[in-house]
A and B are shown apart, each in its own frame.
Chain A
C-alpha cells in the first residue's frame, strides 16, 4: 500500500496554479468518455453535482444513496448560506480575501493551494445555481442579496431565506434528475455502500447492500468517488441527520485509504440546548442569527430570574466584551468555547444550566418584528415548535453542538486519496477547512468539488486507465462480498439484548467528555480505554433481530454504530497525538493566558494521516507538512 503522501501541488504563483494544473493534467477524448464508468457514493451537494457534471461530460455514472431519494441528502439541512467572492456589495471582497479569510479561519492547518482554488471557483458556483433556477434572496432592484456571516467582515454570503442548503441541493438534484432521465446516471436509492473493492492497488468498485431487500451486489467501475459526508454522528447527538454515518469512509480506510485529521470537529455555537435523555438529535439555529441577535448571560451566577426581568446592567454580553471588533460574529470555534466557559463557570441559563441567551430584543426594537421575521421567520418558527417558547417575546437559549467534521479521508490536489482510483469530495475529505470551517463554506466546498474540480481531475486518472479493465469476475469482488456477508452474520448472531442505539448513545457520551469541545491527555487516554471496552461489550450484547435478507433497520444501524465504535477511537488517537490547540481542536494543556487556542507551528504544522494496521491494533500516522507561502501563520485575534 502506498504510504507516501504526494499532494501533487502545482507550481507557479498561486493565482495561476489551478489554471496551470488544468492545462498540465491529461484529458480523456470526448468520444472515449462514454467507455468509462464512475461510481459515486452519496447524493448530497458534492455527490449530486459531481454525478450530474460527469454525466454531462459523457461518463457513465452510477450514483448511490441510502435515503429513498437523492433529494434527501443531509446537505438539504444547511441553513445560512454559501460564500462567493463576487464582490457584488463593493465592500472590498476578492478571491484573495476569501482565500485569506479561509486559511486564517482554518487556523493555518489547511493547504493554501486547495483553498485558493476554492475561492477562485466560488463565483462560478453562484452563476451555475442561478442558471438552474435556484431562488436566492434578491433586493428590490432584482439583484442578488448578500449578508455577512460568522467571522467575515465583508458581505459575501448568498442565501435563500434560512434554507440555502435545501435550494442548492434541489438545484443539484434537478441536474442529476435530468441525467437520470437521459440514462447517463444509473441511480441506486436505498442502497448502502459496505466496502470498497481494491484490485492491484486501485479502487475498482464497491460492495453494496440494498436496504429494501437486503441484496448484496458487486459493482465494478473505472473509478470510485466517495461523497458520503461527515462523521459528526460519532457523538450520537449532533446536528447531522440520523442516517449520516462514517461507514463508507471508514471501509475505505480499512482498505488502505488514509484518514486525515480525524480529531478536527466543528462544534457549532448556536444550537437548541438538550432537553432530556430521550433526545435523538440537536437542531441548529443558523449562525446568521448572530448578525442581529446578541449573546449574553446573567452577571450573577445561577440567576433564575426570567430574562426579561434581568436589567441591562446585570447582563454580560460576553462576546462583545471579550472581542470588541468582531463581537457576536467571532468564528464558530471561538464562540463555542466562550459559551462553554460561561456555563462551566456557572453562568449558564435554562433548566440544565447548559445554555446562553441569544437575544433579539434590541434588533426587534430597532428594525421591527416584521423585518426580523422576514430574515429569520422559519428559524424562529422552528425554535418555537421545538422549545415551546416564542423567540419574538423571550430570548432564545442556545448551546454548542457537534455540527461538521473538518477531518476526513486524505486527498491530494486532484481530490484523489492515496488509493489510486479512489476520489473523495465534500465533507468526506479533509482538504479545505483546516482545523475550523468558516460559516457558509461547507456548501461552497461541496459544490466546488462536485461541479468544478473533480470532473476535470478525475480525467487525469482515467486517461491512464484501460476502460472496463476490471470486472466483478475478479476474485477481489468475491472476497469483499464474502467479508460483507460475514460481517452482517456476525452482527445478527450476537443475539444480545441492547439496541445498537444504546451503544451509540454511550459512545456519544464518551466522545463528548473526552474528545469534545475541550480535550486533555488524561481524558483522551481514558476515552480510548472506555471505547475499547464498550466496543467489546457491543459485540457481546447487541440485539439485532431479523435477517440480512429483508428490510432490517436494526441491522443497518448496528453496522454503522460498529464503525463509529472504531472511528471514535481513531479520533482520540489523533487528538492525543496533536499536542497543540488549533481551531476546533482545543487541548486544555495548550492555551494562551487569555484562554485562547495556542498553536505550535514548530511541531504541528502538518496534516496527520492515519493508516489502518488491523483489528484492535493502534493505527500509524504519516505527516504531510503544510507550507504557508502567502498567508503567514499568526495568532488568530478577533479582539
Chain B
C-alpha cells in the first residue's frame, strides 16, 4: 500500500477512429496521489496533454461512483483492473506502486468496436434488451403493488441479478467474448418474479438469438465473466437462462 505520491509509466491504446490502426503510446503520469481514482489519474494526464495542445485520451465515464456502467478499460490485462467487484472509477491508485508500468486498453470484442482510443460501442447490449429484456406493461392500469406478494427469497435473488450495470466487463473478460452473464442477469431477474412469467418462454430465446446476431460468442465455462464482474453477478444466472432457453426451444418448435 503506497502513501507517497507516485510516478507511473502508462502504455495507453490510442486509435483515431473505428477501423483505423491503433497503437500503444507511452505517457508518464507524475505526482499521482494514492487517494486518486484511476480515472482522476487519467484526468491529470489529459490536463497535461491540453497544455501541450494535444488531443486528450478519450475514455468513457460518467457517474464515477460505480453504478452507471459507463467506464470500462482493460488495466494490465484485467477488465476494470485488479480489484474484485470494482469498476475502474472506484479503483484507487493506492493499489499501485511508484514506478509501475500500467497497460491501458479498451474492451476487446468483435461486438464492441473501438470508437476512439479507449471508447467502444456497446450498443449491442441495448439491442439485446430491446429483444425482450422487459415486461410488456403499458403505463397505467397496473394493479396495487402489494396485490401480489413475492417471497423475499425470490425478490432478493431477482435483485442480485438486477444489479448488473451493463458495463460489458463480462464480454471483455471472456475468451469467446460471450455476453451470457449479461443476458442471463436480465433473464434471471424477470424469471424470478411473477410479473416476468407471461413472456418467460420467448424472452430467453429472443434475447439469445439477438446476442448471437450481434456477434457475441457462446459460453464454454471459463467463468472469467463472473470474476471480472464489478457487481459480482452470480454464475447461476447463465444456468437459469439456459434452462429457459432449452424449454422454449422444445416447446416453441423453433
Contact = CB atoms under 8 A, between A and B. Distances in A.
B47 A501 contact: yes
B96 interface: no
Contacts of A139: 152
Contacts of B138: 53, 56
A173 B135 CA distance: 11
A267 B233 CA distance: 34
Interface stretch (A125-133, A364-372, A508-516, A629-637): A125-133
Interface in A18-74: 49, 52-53, 56, 67-74
Contact of A388 (B55, B66, B70, B94): B94
A180 B121 CA distance: 18
A95 B56 CA distance: 51
Contact of B122 (A68, A163, A284): A68
Given A280-B39, A388-B94, A71 B130 contact: no
Interface in B92-131: 92, 94, 115-116, 119, 121-123, 125-126, 129-131
A12 interface: no
A1 B4 CA distance: 59
A128 B85 CA distance: 31
B189 A127 contact: no
A375 interface: no
The listed residue with most A CB atoms (<10 A of its CB), out of B54, B144, B145, B151, is B145
Give the dominant DSSP class at B's interface. Answer: loop
Contacts of A135: 155-156, 158-159, 162, 189, 193
A115 B158 CA distance: 33
A476 B151 CA distance: 57
Contacts of A212: 115-116
Interface string A165-197: 111001001110110110000010100000000
A69 B63 contact: no
B149 interface: yes
A241 B136 contact: no
A463 interface: no
Contacts of A385: 83, 86, 90, 92
A638 interface: no
Contacts of B25: none
B139 A143 contact: no
A545 interface: yes
Interface stretch (A434-442, A546-554, A609-617): A546-554
B251 to A, nearest CB: 22
A490 B145 CA distance: 53
A136 B193 CA distance: 11
24 contacts: A68-B121, A68-B123, A132-B134, A132-B135, A136-B155, A137-B155, A139-B152, A143-B146, A144-B146, A161-B159, A178-B136, A212-B115, A243-B62, A278-B33, A281-B65, A381-B85, A385-B90, A386-B90, A497-B53, A499-B51, A501-B46, A551-B17, A553-B56, A554-B55
Given A133-B189, A141-B149, A174-B135, 20 more contacts: A53-B139, A56-B138, A68-B70, A71-B166, A138-B152, A142-B150, A165-B67, A180-B126, A241-B62, A241-B68, A242-B62, A281-B64, A283-B64, A451-B139, A452-B140, A497-B51, A499-B47, A501-B47, A501-B50, A502-B50
Interface of A: 49, 52-53, 56, 67-74, 76-77, 86, 88, 124, 126-133, 135-144, 160-161, 163, 165-167, 170, 173-175, 177-178, 180-181, 187, 189, 212, 241-243, 275-276, 278-281, 283-284, 381-382, 385-386, 388, 451-452, 455, 495, 497-502, 543, 545-546, 550-554
